[in-house]
Structure 1
Amino acid sequence: MERSVRCSSSSFLPSPVSCSTKFPREFRGQKGIIFLRILAAKSTPENTSQAVQKGSKKDLSRILRTEAAVKAIEKKANSSKYNNLWPKVVLEALHDAIRENRWESALKIFNLLRKQHWYQPKCRTYARLLAMLGNCRQPNQASLLFEMLRSDGLRPTVDVYTALASAYGLSGLIDEALDIIHDMNSTSDCKPDVFTYSILIKCCMKFQRHEMIDQMLAEMSYLGIRCSNVTYNNIIDGYGKANLFEKMENSLLEMIGSGESLPDIFTLNSVVGAYGNGGNIEKMEKWFDEFQLMGIKPDVMTFNILIKSYGRAMMYEKMGQVVDYMRKRFYMPTIVTYNIIIETFGKAGNIYKMEEFFLEMKHRGMKPNSITYCTLISAYSRVGVVEKVDSIMRQVENSDVLLDTAFFNCAINAYGHAGDMEKMVELFSEMKVKQCRPDNITFATMIKAFNAKGMFEAANDLQRKMLPDNNSAGTKLSRIIA
């Protein structure tokens, strides 16, 4: 079998269960046989079915009771009189709020937790809350929570410091995050580890602070901390997204040369994606082959990257080869795969192929999302087929797809481009109903459409109303058009 297959070709390389039953001694022998026969007689299909249904109802009832209790806890979080609540429900409510990144609810529930008689402060809980606040870009709240930890008499652990540094770093406060690292280095019993530095490196890459990378790597070397796969992948991905390809390749070669932290699928996708996004198809194909020689097989994300890269380069034949390979090797395309293909053919004006893959996606049982519909509307608008836009809008109305501001901007632009001002304003008013806040793109699109129609009064009115009161703006525009 070949070890490598080149991207330029039409092909791409990319337990038994045992059961044993043991019976207690008292069930062995003749009596045990009679006992088992009785069980066998009782276990008819009807009885088994009833037992399963009964068990399912009990499970469902328990789940519903738990969910109701969790919601009740969230309501009680605003009150100060509850101090002896059931621990399991309070902790589950806090867990759900953290998992869903509902930071305001999480902090209220945590304050309620601290008032309970049975409460014992733990650094682990604080670390999880700090990590959530970092994900929600709430550095000020993270700072207050850290002070609360100290007031509870806890000594911050490495995880707590790391989560706090991450909260600053993810919000672009790199210097503040570095101060946390320096505080850790000055503490004898709480030194930063490879995970701490990996997160900080990721933050520096995200906010284009590339000059800090060498400094942090030098600190790690001085402290005897070796780079992990995550560290190298953060560096490679960051340099790749910044189009610093030479530094990216140097970091990759250093990773390979380390002999400990070897490249993996994340490394493959970062390198191939960097060259693909940069339009360097030759390098993309070269490194795709190199990773296969290292024994790293592609996944669906890799193929999505290849399809998107070939599509951008208008290399539709190679794009089709990747799609065919996925079908032959039973790689299941995702909604992202289909959205990329639909967008590629839509931008190319190939409506027939776009619709072909849209139908294939639905036949596979995949539900289109707002990105799918937005892509279709843009493509139909681009070629001037307004009736198709109407058809897509009807499909959206009859579906449970979650709409966002980007979708409405797309639809508003399509109807504005077609000169249908009434429909455009209708969609603008519907944004309030769907809780989608208009942004500057929404207003700029509508103003441009009004000016193109010579409706300068409506355009000026919208200019004055831009963000303060979206609902009244929509109402007044409706009166002007009528």
Structure 2
Amino acid sequence: MKRARKVSDAVAAEMLMQICSLKTKSMSLFTPLSNIPLSSSRSFIRVISGQTHNCSSDGIPKSISLLTEKNTSLRLMGEKNLTQVVSELTNELTSHIGDSEKISAILEANNSFLIRSYCKGSAFFELLERLGSWPQLALEVFNWRRKQAVDSGIPMLSEEYSKGITIAGRAKNVNLALELFTDAVNQGIKRSCIFNALMAAYMYNGLAEKSQSLFRDLKREPTCSPTIVTYNILISIFGRLMLVDHMEATFREIQELNLSPNLSTYNNLIAGYVTAWMWDEMEKTFWRMEAGPVKPNVDTHLLMLRGYAHSNKLEKMEKAYELVKDHVNTKEIPLIRAMICAYCKSSDTDRIRKIEALLKLIPENEYRPWLNVLLIRVYAQEDMMEGMENSINEAFEHRTSVTTVHVMRSIIASYFRSSAVDRLAKFVKQAESASWRVCRSLYHCKMVMYGSQNRLEEMENVLDEMENFNIDPSKKTFIIMCKAYIKFDQRYKLERLLGLMCKHGFEIPLEVSPF
């Protein structure tokens, strides 16, 4: 009896090892019981049904319990190794960008790890995910896998084709994305994920019409149909094009088909409303999320923060910022700039302090000309001379050219209110050399300030500066000079100037007439 039990346990253990082994030629994990020899299958059935006496206290045979513990331990170790090895492999590949031969050699050396050792190429997928910041390199790695499918006889899965199409789209290689899609279809792999990947590739490259055409093709397919991912792509396309009616109609179709909207669905809707500057609809969608089963995530709050910044709703913007502050400060520099822009356009009494706090979060290599110009204007409006001139000098260093009159007038007004004529004169020379927008107001301000300080000769020289830039004197130009001559009792110069005014056909106002 004892011997029989030992034989039964041995057969069962052997059977388990055969089924769990990935290297056996006679069977795999997916071998059905009907293909297992009858004598072995009976022993196996007795073991898994607990019909042996060699069982643990919870009814599980000790042989299976030990194997389970061992396999679990190996699996956890394998997961750890997967992450660690893929990370090292990513570093190795990225250090040889541009060297195709070296990259190929690295991949060949890790062939077994990437393709053979993990179910459905989990290591390979993990590697492609990590190479997301290097689309061309990821494409090179994917093409290697594509070649391996032919050389090794291990065919590509629908998930691999989908990933490859996505990478090709990100690398702006639409022709390759279409080639991979066609290859998958020719291989008999018609899956929704393949259609979705190509639709997304078209969307990413601004080919909205082709994406919509592919959607219509998918709806006609007998073997597969659109998924919620498909509709999410459509919503994103319509949102980017500001076709709000189409976007909302797509969302209604989702509900009619009893598909469950997910986080991407709502985030794409909100993004579409932000693009179209439909702030009320943006907020309604957000409230719908908060009240429903699909709750907002970080991306949702980032979208709301952008929307509030663009709509100049400072209080709501600041509340949204507090929810994702740590994330924004380290990873969302464009959002920081959007917030600064909102403060620049506001009448917030504490806006300078808030702006400067946000400016500290922007790296030096993230210079943006439009933001520089906004800062010049806001410092000028606040009569903060040092901040204004620092921003002006930064613009000169980066060869940023200011071409808008309202910015120039803000600078002029700031110098005028501070009675800083010499600093204004220096700025005018720099602006002329840097091809900034020069206007008559710039020179009139200099003349007024020189005239008020009895620096009449310098005031007169401004006329020559205006002539150099083909700016003709106006009636206001002469009146500014007349008032200065009257103030400092320069009657002779006043009479000459009045004659010049008559020559130009200007009527002499009573307030500057000596008679």
Counterpart for residue 198 of structure 2? 271
Deviation at 1:288, TM superposition (A): 1.8
Question: What amino acid does structure 2 have at the position aligned with 1:285?
Answer: Q
Deviation at 1:256, TM superposition (A): 1.9
Q: Which moved more, 1:295-304 or 1:170-179?
A: 170-179
Q: How many residues align?
A: 305
Question: What amino acid does structure 1 have at the position aligned with 2:92?
Answer: Y
Counterpart for residue 92 of structure 2? 168
**Contact kept in structure 2, 1:241 and 1:274, CA below 8 Å:** yes
Q: Does 1:309 align with 2:237?
A: yes
Q: Does 1:125 align with 2:77?
A: yes
Deviation at 1:412, TM superposition (A): 2.6
Q: Does 1:328 align with 2:256?
A: yes
Superposition pairs for residues 242-253 of structure 1, below 5 Å? 242-253=171-182
**Contact kept in structure 2, 1:177 and 1:200, CA below 8 Å:** no
Question: What amino acid does structure 2 have at the position aligned with 1:227?
Answer: M
Distance 1:191 1:368 in 2: 36
Q: Does 1:300 align with 2:252?
A: no
Deviation per CA, 1:381-432, whole angstroms, max 9, x where unpaired?
A: 445xx4x2213424655x6886422254432331123364833533654899
Superposition pairs for residues 330-369 of structure 1, below 5 Å? 330-364=258-292, 367-369=295-297
- Percent identical across equivalent pairs? 18
Question: What amino acid does structure 1 have at the position aligned with 2:77?
Answer: T
The SS at the match of 2:345 is: helix
Distance 2:373 2:217 in 1: 49
The TM-score, its normalising length taken from structure 1, stands at 0.51
Distance 1:464 1:132 in 2: 48
Q: Which moved more, 1:301-310 or 1:399-408?
A: 399-408
The TM-score, its normalising length taken from structure 2, stands at 0.48
Distance 2:156 2:232 in 1: 29
When residues 264 and 170 of structure 1 are mapped into structure 2, their CA distance, relative to the original with a 3 A threshold, is farther
When residues 306 and 323 of structure 1 are mapped into structure 2, their CA distance, relative to the original with a 3 A threshold, is same
**Contact kept in structure 2, 1:408 and 1:428, CA below 8 Å:** no
Deviation at 1:306, TM superposition (A): 0.7
Counterpart for residue 339 of structure 2? 411
**Contact kept in structure 2, 1:239 and 1:245, CA below 8 Å:** yes
Select 1:230's aligned residue among 137, 159, 163: 159
Distance 1:360 1:374 in 2: 17
**Contact kept in structure 1, 2:168 and 2:174, CA below 8 Å:** yes
Question: What amino acid does structure 2 have at the position aligned with 1:390?
Answer: E
Select 1:179's aligned residue among 105, 111, 115: 105
When residues 295 and 126 of structure 1 are mapped into structure 2, their CA distance, relative to the original with a 3 A threshold, is closer
Distance 1:439 1:380 in 2: 24
Select 2:303's aligned residue among 360, 375, 384: 375
The SS at the match of 2:136 is: coil
**Contact kept in structure 2, 1:381 and 1:417, CA below 8 Å:** no
Question: What amino acid does structure 2 have at the position aligned with 1:283?
Answer: K
**Contact kept in structure 1, 2:308 and 2:317, CA below 8 Å:** no
Distance 1:370 1:184 in 2: 36
Deviation at 1:238, TM superposition (A): 1.9
**Contact kept in structure 2, 1:240 and 1:248, CA below 8 Å:** yes
Deviation at 1:229, TM superposition (A): 2.3
When residues 411 and 257 of structure 1 are mapped into structure 2, their CA distance, relative to the original with a 3 A threshold, is same
Counterpart for residue 390 of structure 1? 315
**Contact kept in structure 2, 1:338 and 1:361, CA below 8 Å:** yes
Q: Does 1:452 align with 2:404?
A: no
Counterpart for residue 246 of structure 2? 318
Deviation per CA, 1:282-337, whole angstroms, max 9, x where unpaired?
A: 32122223334143333333222111101222322221111111223333333433
Distance 2:125 2:317 in 1: 45
When residues 124 and 183 of structure 1 are mapped into structure 2, their CA distance, relative to the original with a 3 A threshold, is farther
Counterpart for residue 468 of structure 2? none
**Contact kept in structure 2, 1:184 and 1:191, CA below 8 Å:** yes
When residues 288 and 409 of structure 1 are mapped into structure 2, their CA distance, relative to the original with a 3 A threshold, is same
The SS at the match of 2:350 is: helix
Distance 1:317 1:289 in 2: 18
When residues 287 and 380 of structure 1 are mapped into structure 2, their CA distance, relative to the original with a 3 A threshold, is same
Q: Which has the larger radius of gyration?
A: 2
**Contact kept in structure 2, 1:416 and 1:446, CA below 8 Å:** no
Superposition pairs for residues 455-466 of structure 1, below 5 Å? 455=384, 457-458=386-387
Distance 1:408 1:184 in 2: 42
**Contact kept in structure 2, 1:326 and 1:332, CA below 8 Å:** yes
Q: Does 1:290 align with 2:217?
A: yes
**Contact kept in structure 1, 2:273 and 2:281, CA below 8 Å:** yes
Distance 2:326 2:126 in 1: 32
**Contact kept in structure 2, 1:413 and 1:446, CA below 8 Å:** yes
Unaligned 5+ segments in structure 1 are: 1-94, 96-119, 136-141, 143-163, 466-482
Distance 2:133 2:326 in 1: 32
Q: Which has the higher contact order (CA 8 A, sep 6+)?
A: 1
Question: What amino acid does structure 2 have at the position aligned with 1:327?
Answer: Q
When residues 264 and 353 of structure 1 are mapped into structure 2, their CA distance, relative to the original with a 3 A threshold, is same
**Contact kept in structure 2, 1:134 and 1:170, CA below 8 Å:** no
**Contact kept in structure 1, 2:279 and 2:307, CA below 8 Å:** yes
The SS at the match of 2:261 is: coil
Provide the alpha-carbon RMSD of the alignment.
4.3
When residues 362 and 172 of structure 1 are mapped into structure 2, their CA distance, relative to the original with a 3 A threshold, is farther
Superposition pairs for residues 148-227 of structure 1, below 5 Å? 164=89, 166-169=90-93, 173=97, 177-183=103-109, 193=116, 195=121, 203=131, 206-209=134-137, 210=139, 217-227=146-156
When residues 172 and 420 of structure 1 are mapped into structure 2, their CA distance, relative to the original with a 3 A threshold, is farther
Question: What amino acid does structure 2 have at the position aligned with 1:183?
Answer: A
Question: What amino acid does structure 1 have at the position aligned with 2:80?
Answer: R
Deviation per CA, 1:254-299, whole angstroms, max 9, x where unpaired?
A: 212223xx24343222111112233333321222233341433333
Counterpart for residue 42 of structure 1? none
Superposition pairs for residues 140-151 of structure 1, below 5 Å? 142=88
Distance 1:289 1:363 in 2: 33
Deviation per CA, 1:315-374, whole angstroms, max 9, x where unpaired?
A: 222211111112233333334332322222222222332233233233326554454444
